[in-house]
Structure 1
Amino acid sequence: MAWPGRPSGPRLTGLGGGLFCVTVMFLVGFLDDLLFGASLTVYGVLSLPVCALTALWVRGSDLLTAPVVVPISFAAGLLTVADGGGGFLGGVMGLVTALSTQAGWLYGGTLVAGVIVIVRRIRLIRRRRRG
């Protein structure tokens, strides 16, 4: 385990972290729709580890991007599981309804990413002051 010295895993740029998070959330939404019939609870639960990984894998210089891309990726993946009627307006209404009813998961994922980013930032500042 490499955590005491440095966190293990890839080091993503801010853009890379955003692309990773959006892509994985879109795939999670697609698989949720395929396997569980678009269960919003399953989608919300599976979004939390994606948020944590995004916050852990972003480079130290791009830490502040993680809590920003997490809600955007949640909404992007929600497009695949939101219950929209016919047409464009039905899809928009389904997305707005899903975002309002699943706000707890959205805030929870953002909170997870934010806490991880704050802890990583504090550790980074302490390490720079020592060295």
Structure 2
Amino acid sequence: MRRQRGAAAPRTGGAVTLTGRGGIVVMFALTLLGALLARWTDLPLLAGSGFVAGCAAAALLTRPVDLLTLAVSPPLVFLLATLAAVVLTSLGDGNLLTGSLVGLLTALSTTAPWLFAGTVLVLAVTAPRGMLAQVRELREKLAGMRLFMEEENEDPVRWDDTPRRATSRSRRRRRERPNHADVD
């Protein structure tokens, strides 16, 4: 029996697969949980390990067609989860803006190696699962689009060409045609 285009594939087991957005949500949730625990217990190790765990879970559970989306998102997810944790834990501590800014800079500086480790982990896990093929496919699509854009936007007037000397035949034709000022 043939499957129709766009129809869902029959599930054959209990394997969980996530869309690209779902993988980003999992990464964000585990990073936020780790960052909140780190702020409450004063252990920056929890923030980093939460982020790395979120990166590993998202990279392993995301379906192969969405790996490119997932591969570019860890730095932004890390920043947003850290910012959310700092703002949530700074509520009621006086000046929210300065407390959040100082807390964000401190949190980012103490967990920067974890950001690098999580990003490399996502790339290392997603590369063999098909991300490199998606990058190649995207590059080919962009090259094809660029080719068509150059043809459409090409200027018919070539300003960089040097003017050529007019031949005697073309000089005669110019004398026969009226000048633009003479036409009005």
Question: TM-score normalized by structure 2?
Answer: 0.53
Match of 1:128 in 2: none
Which of residues 76, 80, 88 in structure 2 aligns to 1:76?
80
Q: Equivalents in 1 of 2:102, 2:32: separation in Å? A: 19
Quickly say closer, same or farther: Cα 1:33–1:101, change in 2 above 3 A.
closer
Q: Contact 1:38/1:81 (CA < 8 Å) preserved in 2? A: no
> How do 1:38-49 and structure 2 match up within 5 A?
38-49=42-53
Which of residues 14, 21, 29 in structure 2 aligns to 1:23?
29
Q: Contact 1:28/1:77 (CA < 8 Å) preserved in 2? A: no
What RMSD over aligned residues (CA atoms) do the two structures have, in Å?
A: 2.8
Question: Greater helix share, 1 or 2?
Answer: 1
Match of 2:69 in 1: 65
Structure 2 segments unaligned to the other structure (5+ residues): 1-13, 135-184
> How do 1:1-131 and structure 2 match up within 5 A?
9-34=15-40, 37-79=41-83, 80=85, 86-121=95-130
Structure 1 segments unaligned to the other structure (5+ residues): 1-7, 126-131
Q: Equivalents in 2 of 1:73, 1:122: separation in Å? A: 19
Q: Secondary structure at the match of 1:10?
A: coil
Q: Contact 2:38/2:47 (CA < 8 Å) preserved in 1? A: yes
Q: Contact 1:21/1:69 (CA < 8 Å) preserved in 2? A: no
Q: Which has the larger radius of gyration?
A: 2
By relative contact order (CA 8 Å, sep 6+), the higher-ranking structure is: 1
Quickly say closer, same or farther: Cα 1:89–1:122, change in 2 above 3 A.
closer
Quickly say closer, same or farther: Cα 1:48–1:89, change in 2 above 3 A.
same
> Offset at 1:124?
7.7
> Offset at 1:30?
2.5
Q: Equivalents in 2 of 1:54, 1:32: separation in Å? A: 21
Percent sequence identity over aligned pairs: 31
Q: Contact 1:60/1:124 (CA < 8 Å) preserved in 2? A: no
Match of 2:170 in 1: none
> Offset at 1:46?
2.9
Specify the code of the residue in structure 1 equivalent to 2:122.
A
